[in-house]
Chain A
Amino acid sequence: EIVLTQSPGTLSLSPGERATLSCTASHIVSSNYLAWYQHKPGQAPRLLISGASSRATGIPDRFSGSGSGTDFTLTISRLEPGDFAVYYCQQYTDSPITFGQGTRLEIK
């Protein structure tokens, strides 16, 4: 099983600032099948990034993903009020599919 570890657990920033979220895998994620999701209370998770760096349909270019192998990053270039949420990374290359424990992005 591929274990994903996200850091930090909580990130406190202000609107307009840049957010950098990390996801480290215990084993290589083949084909870079690594996704990022945004999850707000009372809503379903929303796919942001697939294949480590490809933005999903309708996702603004403020969101970008990078990395390969075991180390991946989600960057939000200029935070807007609607960006404050919990973010999860997920690997979908290997069964069982696994999620990181999440990073809570909160308003400072």
Chain B
Amino acid sequence: QVQLVQSGAEVKKPGASVRVSCKASGYSFTTYYMHWVRQAPGQGLEWMGIINPSGGSTTYAQKLQGRVTMTRDTSTSTVNMELSSLRSEDTAVYYCARRGGVQGFDIWGQGTMVTVSS
């Protein structure tokens, strides 16, 4: 079946970097754009950016520009999100989500908890 499986929880110190992976299966990986969304504790959903798995082009949310990098590996149908210079405000659950054509985000990963703490 169509699914996105993310890597496991991470605990990082302020200033460090974290990489979260998202492996797609059950569909043509290069056909659908992939997005990253995060939710800090007690907060709403925040869009982080998008990657085109076909060509690798990206667009990032302005507030994360310079700290976030999204990449893809077509050989493993995996997209990665790396966030650097971590601060406590980056503590959140991070989700990858597929944009289903003209639909919204129809398939989501299970979420990855990233905790930033000294």
Contact = CB atoms under 8 A, between A and B. Distances in A.
Nearest to A54: B103
A90 to B, nearest CB: 6
A51 to B, nearest CB: 6
A94 to B, nearest CB: 11
Interface string B85-102: 000000000010101101
A98 B103 contact: no
Given A45-B95, A45-B105, A96 B35 contact: no
A44 B104 contact: no
B44 A99 contact: yes
Contact residues on B (Cβ < 8 Å of other chain), bracket: 20 to 34
B104 A90 contact: yes
A104 to B, nearest CB: 11
5 nearest interchain CB pairs? A35-B104, A44-B108, A50-B103, A97-B47, A99-B45
Interface of B: 35, 37, 44-47, 50, 59, 61-62, 95, 97, 99-100, 102-106, 108-111
